[in-house]
């Protein structure tokens, strides 16, 4: 058997537009559901970031944590999903926004295996918060990995920057 017969390629249905990756292209929505919730979440994140960056006093630090805590509660109650990049900048334990050398510490770790060899596939990116919470991200396996939201063309359809061909 040849490879062409083993792989079945689905033909697009009449009226569907499919890109080169096999994703169905959908026109952007005219309105966004829960727009006011997303605006509120965005504002709370900006307030938390502002108070974390600009003020060193303990009151502003507590205020920033409270804003991020409210952000987390509101996103759960309204079932509004935050982007993974935004979630990664928040400590799950103390609800602090993670800013390098200010509220957290970044490290690269590569532990040698039994033969004392350092393997680049074992590299880990470690984020340590001031509260002691440690986040580990394995980056050595596939350095070119991008999650769904970071891939090209995923969010461009929503923002309207990319031209979408019209179906015939």
Name the β-bridge partners of 138.
124
In the prediction, which pLDDT does 155 show? 58
In a domain, 65, yes or no: yes
Confidence band, pLDDT 50/70/90 cuts, at residue 77? very high
Report how many domains make up the chain. Answer: 1
99: confidence class by pLDDT, cuts 50, 70, 90: very high
Residue 44 inside a domain? The answer is: yes
CA distance 103 to 124: 20
22 within some domain: no
Whole-model pTM above 0.85? no
Coil, helix or strand for 139? coil
Report, as an integer, the average pLDDT of 152-157: 62
Q: Is residue 4 part of a domain?
A: no
Quote the pLDDT of residue 167: 47
Looking at the domain assignment, is residue 114 inside a domain? yes
153: left (phi over 0), alpha (psi -120 to 50) or beta: left
């Amino acid at each position: 058997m040849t490879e062409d017969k083993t792989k079945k390629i689905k033909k697009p249905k009449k009226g569907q537009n499919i890109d080169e990756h096999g994703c169905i292209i959908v026109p952007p929505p005219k309105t966004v559901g829960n727009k006011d919730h997303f605006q509120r979440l965005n504002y709370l994140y900006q307030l938390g970031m502002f108070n974390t960056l600009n003020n060193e006093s303990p009151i502003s630090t507590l205020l920033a944590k409270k804003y991020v805590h409210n952000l987390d509660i509101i996103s759960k109650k309204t079932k509004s999903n935050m982007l993974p990049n935004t979630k990664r900048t928040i400590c799950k334990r103390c609800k602090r926004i993670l800013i390098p050398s200010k509220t957290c510490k970044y490290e690269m770790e590569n532990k040698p295996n039994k033969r004392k060899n350092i393997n680049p596939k074992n590299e880990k990116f470690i984020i340590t918060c001031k509260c002691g919470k440690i986040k580990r991200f394995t980056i050595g396996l596939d350095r070119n990995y991008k999650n769904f939201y970071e891939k090209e063309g995923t969010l461009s359809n929503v923002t309207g920057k990319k031209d979408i061909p019209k179906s015939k």
